[in-house]
Amino acid sequence: MIRPFHYHHALDDEDNLTVQVSDANSLLGTHLLEGDWEEALDYLDTPEGERDATIKNDPLGLFNVGNKLTLPKTKNGAVFAALYVRAPFPLIKKICDIEEDTDISNLMYALSVIPHEEQQRLEESQQRKIPYRTRYWTNNEHTLILNLFLKECLQQKSSLLDKCPSWIIPSTFAVTPLAMAAYNPDVPSSILQKLCMLEPKAIGMESKLFSVSTIPLIVAAASPVPPATFPMDVRDEVKRNRWEKVKLLMNKDWFEIVVQSSSLD
Phi, psi (5° rounding) for residue 209? -125, 115
Q: What is the pTM of this model?
A: 0.88
- Residue 18's pLDDT is what? 54
Taking Cα atoms as reference points, which of 111, 191, 85, 115 lies closest to residue 147? 191
Phi, psi (5° rounding) for residue 179? -65, -35
- Residue 227's pLDDT is what? 87
- Residue 86's pLDDT is what? 95
Separation of alpha carbons 95 and 77, rounded Å? 10
Rounded average pLDDT over 75-103: 93
Cα 204 from chain centroid (whole Å): 22
First to last CA, the chain: 46
SS3 199: coil
Residue type, 245: K
pLDDT tens sequence across 172-210: 899 999 999 999 999 999 999 999 999 999 999 999 988
Rounded average pLDDT over 17-39: 82
* Average predicted confidence (pLDDT) for the chain: 85
- Residue 97's pLDDT is what? 93
Separation of alpha carbons 181 and 193, rounded Å? 10
Provide the β-strand partners of residue 174. Answer: 208
The percent helix, strand, coil of the chain (3-state, each to 5) is 55, 5, 40
Give all strands (DSSP E) within 184-260, no chain letters.
Answer: 207-209, 212-214
Rounded average pLDDT over 32-40: 94
- Residue 19's pLDDT is what? 59
Separation of alpha carbons 175 and 161, rounded Å? 9
- 243, 214 contact by CB (below 8 A): no
- Reported confidence tier of residue 16, pLDDT bands at 50, 70, 90: very low
Q: Which residue has the higher pLDDT, 68 or 140?
A: 140
pLDDT tens sequence across 119-149: 888 877 665 554 446 789 999 999 999 999 9
- Reported confidence tier of residue 21, pLDDT bands at 50, 70, 90: low
- Residue 61's pLDDT is what? 87
- CATH fold of 14-264: 1.25.40
- 216, 178 contact by CB (below 8 A): yes
Spell out the domain ranges in the chain: 14-264
Question: How crowded is the C-beta side of 92, counted as CA atoms within 13 Å?
Answer: 23
**For the chain, what percent of residues have pLDDT higher than 70?**
83
Q: Is 182 exposed, middle or buried (0-12, 13-18, 19+ CB in 10 A)?
A: buried
Listed in sequence order, the residues at least 6 apart from 154 whose beta carbon sits closer than 8 Å to its beta carbon are 198
pLDDT tens sequence across 242-258: 999 999 999 877 777 76
- 3, 186 contact by CB (below 8 A): no
Rounded average pLDDT over 44-65: 90
- Residue 215's pLDDT is what? 94
* 55 DSSP assignment: S
